[in-house]
Structure 1
Amino acid sequence: MPNTPILTDSAAITRLAEELHRQPAIAVDLEADSMHCYRDKVCLLQFSTAGRTVLVDPLAVADLEPLKAVLADPQVRKIFHAADYDIRCLHRDFGIEIRGLFDTMVSCQFLGEEKVGLADVLGKHFGVELDKRYQRADWSVRPLTPEMISYAAEDTRHLHRLVALLEGRLEEKGRLAWVAEEFALLEQVRHSEAEGPLFLRAKGAGTLDRRQLAVLEELLQWRDREAQRRDCPLFRVVGNKSLLDLARNTPRSHQGLVAIEGISPRLADRYGKQMLQAIERGLNLPQDQLPVYPRSPRPERDPEADRRLALLKEMRTAKAGALGMDPGILINNTLLELISRNPPRKTADLEGFDGMKNWQREVLGEEIVKTLGKE
């Protein structure tokens, strides 16, 4: 494998940007440190043209301004695999926007590939084996090992020929316009900071009563402070499930802590005092200050809508089977439920449904109306 250069100065990045702008297509990827830091950041960028692969070290040179123009130029195709996270990170960290996207993972989904991870796809089609050991590596560490450099380069090196394969199959199936619409929507995604109580982001919090919810919030706030102090991900302090069980059982002693799954004696020795104090604060919170888990009002039970939904799901299953696609990729349950409660009389009525894409109306519109006409 040829040596892969790593660019660490502004002049080299300017030259790279000029080179990339002369290309019809470039493959792009990034590596971050989300498994190792409290706030993840982009630690490495990979670019592959048809002829070579180059890495950019944003930890060595923070000014990536020269790359903005080419990455925002729709005339230069940007090939990503699973672009959603990358697009959000690039805009958050550097103000970089992506235009001219081609996402090979989305393409695989629309071709009905059973496994759409990059390692699976490259292994299936090209016999390429990616070393998964480095998916969770700490990419903020310098210097990068030769193995890490090789892994990063492999992530983009094969994307050009993968596009050639996938695009041809999409064209044969008449689905290029479908994925083009998906790509245009993906280009608009942005990172957003979550607001409100931390329990809103804790799976299972909605099953707790208000007092338990107060305890959970205190535990989550403590863990967040500790993760910031250590500059590590939240799960490296203590896992969500353990905190949920602590809030549900509210142990009051060291012995009670270690009875909770995931709270080892060592963890209890290290954090027991802080966890017990957090539990105590939640238990002592005045009744009128207890948090309330927000719940969307449930729509009234409508037997007719339920019947329509069942018919729509049957139609979706049959259509997805005929297309060789996952039913959830074809159309999701939320949209089907909305349609079942507001049945369209003609295909044009489907234009009023938020979240329904043009390609979905074209592919499913007549069958949706026909299916609902059978009820």
Structure 2
Amino acid sequence: MSSNSPSPETDPTPSPITALYTTITSSLLQTTRAANALVATDLPFQRTLNRDVGAQLDAQNARLLSLAERLLQRAAGDASVASSGAGPQVQAAHTRNTGVRNPPPAAGAGVRLRDVEDLDTGWRDVVDVLDSLLERADGCLDGVKRARNGLPEHKGMPRTKNDIEKPQTLFDDKQDNSEGRKFKPLLTQKPHAMMPLKESIGYGTNGYGHPYQDEIEAYEFPNSLYTTAESRPYPPFDKTEATFVDTLDGLAEMLKELKKVKEVAIDLEHHDHRSYPGIVCLMQISTRDRDWIVDTLKPWRRRLECLNEVFANPKVLKVFHGAQSDIIWLQRDLGLYVVGLFDTYHAACALNYPAKSLAYLLLKFINFEAQKQHQLADWRTRPLSADLLAYARSDTHFLLHIYDNLRNQLIASSTSLSSSDPDSNLIRQVQDKSKETSLQRYEYPVYDVAHGLGPIGWYKQLFRTPAMFSPEQFAAFRALHHWRDGVARQEDESIHYVMTNHALFSIARSLPTDKTKLYQVAGQVSPIMRLRGDDIIAVVAKAVEDGKNGPDMNTVMREVEAVIDEGYHKRAAVREAKAAAKAAVKAEAAKEASPDDAAMLDGAPPAAPIAHADPAPASRFWGPALRAVGGVFAQKRNVHTDVRLALPLPDVGADVFGAAEDTVRAAGAKHVFVREEERISAAAVDDVFSVKGLGGRGTKRKKGWERMAESEGELVVPQTEEGEEEGDMDGALEGGEVEEGDEGEILAGEDTMPEPEGEAGRAARMARKRAAGKEKKRARKAAKAEAKKKAEEGGGGAAVEPVEAVPFDYEAQPSVLHGRVREGRGGAPAGRGKKRQVEGGYDAVRESG
């Protein structure tokens, strides 16, 4: 820029783009406000009041529809030029990607908006045009950003992942997605073999075998894994670079370096949106000193089988994180097998880490935060950006350092490294889990039409969705699901690219009869759906006809659940058999240290096992509240262990807490009175106490004791209304008129003359005590009356000055519920009658008021 050119900061003249942006924004703002104001008014009512208003509204509607139509056609025309009028190179690329020699006109090119109904029926075309405009705007903005940052423009590179040429069309080995085939391992030779390749993959009832099964089962971790060692430092991430391998010469050089090491870290990047089975796009390999990123999308990718020289070598430890999918992908695409796997995911599980992801381990041991937004990137893109390369490299650059730390913690957390028990030897546990991962075999996906089971079946998708279909809708859903899978196999596309799950459910619910309705209800319409719209309509029509006499959805779901349960029981039986065999081997190994065997050698019989009673079918406390089906409780949801009592307690009797052989008390049995001479003395039984006296208080008790006192020979026991007998000493004290504190004096009375034995003597004592209490009460009343009389006489008849009442302080008083029981006179506890109180309770209130 010359010195005479004004700088952007000082130039006051706005650029044309800025002026255009200001004008468009202002116009849109005014239009939006006017539209919102019109929505708030009752336009039909205004039409009825004034015909001129109706004519003006119709004219404005026609003008707006015409303007929208012209804009859509202009935008669609630009899009069609971009796809068909840009020259033969673009047309050839379109033909390679879609298989269509003459591409159809762009969506929206033929849209006509004569009235509002046309806008509703053609709404999908409007959305497609807007999407294309937004994509073009996004591409322009990306170009502006790259130019501003000084980055070169990607010549001829597509802007979206759907425009990338499918790399699998250029592979030397073509993908075959047809059904009914068994996957045969891609190996042409087997390095580090214990059994020849032909014998190890022999074809059986379950297909071809795992070529390295014997080698994996015989593998044992090296001794270095059982020794604590300081973790080796990793090269600085920002000061080193990875080597990109995209040639055969680079592959040979990398293989030469890998044969020299004892430990390697491996990871893969996968893409499954534009391929039916998926495709491995990158392979990252790291040693202690170097990083490699291998391009696995080259036409000669099957030549990567030479890496089995390292991958199948039991002397080289292969460190993965979460290798369950990686093992399958390596077999399917590259013919690679892993012998000597250490999965850091299983190590994190054995150590009970709160999280098991690689991002968590990177943050824990490296303090490195991975940029996981690139995890779902389109890894088919070439050339890869610097951000994608850095993300891919970070997955393996630190993994061997993480392995060092996990190994030391596994050793420290194990109780016995020499034991074969995985619970006490965590290294053994990780080894066993890693072997199970390595022994996985890839098989071609099989579509289950009848039951919809398997990873690509319809059952799991329908089970997770709260959808309730009619027989016609259910038949359409199953037919569309099967059609989608078949088209995806033919086009080598993912099922979600052919038709999204939302479109699948929407079409099954609506059952459209024409393509216009189909595109309206589908939402997002893929290019394949547009090309095969007539096929979809035919599939729906046939399914509706078959569904009229077809099975109900709930009936089919129950049948599938029965098949799942049967398979589960079979697998459970196999697991139990394996567990029993393992337990037998374990018991045989520990037989020498068994205390029972040692006792038998000394001539003593072995210790008898502890007998455990079988659980009762019903609770004696709650009754048969838990219903069982076939001995198994019918409970499929998760049950909380912290059960809290939320049921009313039943009538609890002594039979509930007694032994099973105790006699059960008959329902509604009455309390039986036992005479004193027939009762067990307190000296013989000192652990029995009375919780509460039987009977209530009132006149009947008083009269009963009075009749008892009058009787001379035989005790007369009155009956309550409920039929319960009374005659308890505690009940007499509770129902009597004994003042607080008087019981002590009554019990410690001065009368020491001999009394009759039996109930007559007891009645006499009670009558005498009651009479003494009444006498004391009359004496206290007389003393109070005499004191009051003397006070009045001493005052000469003058009026007594009232005493100002002191307000009662409730906060200063102790709690009535938790107050201390006051003692009666003579040190005896206060009686249990209605006048027994606690400190700060009734007495305090009575004295203050």
User: Counterparts of 1:110-189 in structure 2 under 5 Å?
Assistant: 110-174=350-414, 175-189=426-440
Letter matched to residue 243 of structure 1? L
The Cα shift of 1:192 comes to 1.6
Q: Matched residues in 1 for 2:519 and 2:371: separation?
A: 37
Normalised by the size of structure 1, how large is the TM-score?
0.72
Q: Percent identity?
A: 26
Report the CA distance shift for 1:374/1:216 in structure 2 as closer, same or farther (over 3 A).
same
- Are 2:541 and 1:280 aligned? yes
The Cα shift of 1:21 comes to 1.9
Report the CA distance shift for 1:274/1:44 in structure 2 as closer, same or farther (over 3 A).
same
- Are 2:338 and 1:87 aligned? no
Paired position in structure 2 for 1:296: 562
Report the CA distance shift for 1:210/1:186 in structure 2 as closer, same or farther (over 3 A).
farther
Q: For the aligned residues, what is the CA RMSD?
A: 4.0
- More relative contact order, 1 or 2 (CA 8 Å, 6+ apart): 1
Listed one character per residue, the Cα deviations across residues 191-236 of structure 1 (whole Å, up to 9, x for unaligned) are: 2222233643222446767654532232123323554566543223
Letter matched to residue 66 of structure 1? C
Q: Matched residues in 2 for 1:69 and 1:20: separation?
A: 9
Letter matched to residue 375 of structure 2? Q
Aligned residues of 2:497 and 2:526 also touching (Cα < 8 A) = no
Paired position in structure 2 for 1:68: 308
Letter matched to residue 103 of structure 1? D
Q: Matched residues in 2 for 1:351 and 1:153: separation?
A: 45
Paired position in structure 2 for 1:100: 340
The Cα shift of 1:11 comes to 2.9
The Cα shift of 1:275 comes to 3.8
Listed one character per residue, the Cα deviations across residues 230-280 of structure 1 (whole Å, up to 9, x for unaligned) are: 6543223333354245435645567876886xx327679947655433221
Paired position in structure 1 for 2:284: 46
Report the CA distance shift for 1:226/1:86 in structure 2 as closer, same or farther (over 3 A).
same
Paired position in structure 1 for 2:580: 351
Aligned residues of 2:472 and 2:547 also touching (Cα < 8 A) = no
The Cα shift of 1:353 comes to 8.6
Paired position in structure 2 for 1:217: 478
Listed one character per residue, the Cα deviations across residues 79-123 of structure 1 (whole Å, up to 9, x for unaligned) are: 101101010010111211101101111211221122222123212
Look up the SS of the partner of 2:369 in the other structure: coil
Q: Matched residues in 2 for 1:88 and 1:181: separation?
A: 18
User: Counterparts of 1:193-342 in structure 2 under 5 Å?
Assistant: 193-197=444-448, 199-200=452-453, 201-202=457-458, 203-205=460-462, 212-227=473-488, 231-240=492-501, 242-244=503-505, 246-247=507-508, 250-252=511-513, 263-264=522-523, 270=530, 273-285=534-546, 294-297=560-563, 338=572
Q: Matched residues in 2 for 1:32 and 1:265: separation?
A: 25
Paired position in structure 1 for 2:294: 56
How many residues end up aligned between the 2 structures? 323
Gaps spanning 5+ residues in structure 2: where?
Answer: 1-237, 415-425, 591-608, 616-849
Look up the SS of the partner of 2:562 in the other structure: coil
Aligned residues of 1:223 and 1:234 also touching (Cα < 8 A) = yes
Look up the SS of the partner of 1:29 in the other structure: strand
Paired position in structure 1 for 2:840: none
147-156 or 215-224, which moves further after superposition?
215-224
Letter matched to residue 37 of structure 1? S
Aligned residues of 2:264 and 2:285 also touching (Cα < 8 A) = yes
- Are 2:443 and 1:192 aligned? yes
Normalised by the size of structure 2, how large is the TM-score?
0.34
Look up the SS of the partner of 2:381 in the other structure: coil
The Cα shift of 1:18 comes to 2.5
Listed one character per residue, the Cα deviations across residues 45-98 of structure 1 (whole Å, up to 9, x for unaligned) are: 110000010111122241113201210112100010110101001011121110
Letter matched to residue 562 of structure 2? S
Q: Matched residues in 2 for 1:144 and 1:66: separation?
A: 25
Listed one character per residue, the Cα deviations across residues 273-298 of structure 1 (whole Å, up to 9, x for unaligned) are: 55433221212238899796644358
Aligned residues of 1:219 and 1:275 also touching (Cα < 8 A) = yes
Q: Matched residues in 2 for 1:17 and 1:338: separation?
A: 44
- Are 2:253 and 1:15 aligned? yes
Paired position in structure 1 for 2:747: none
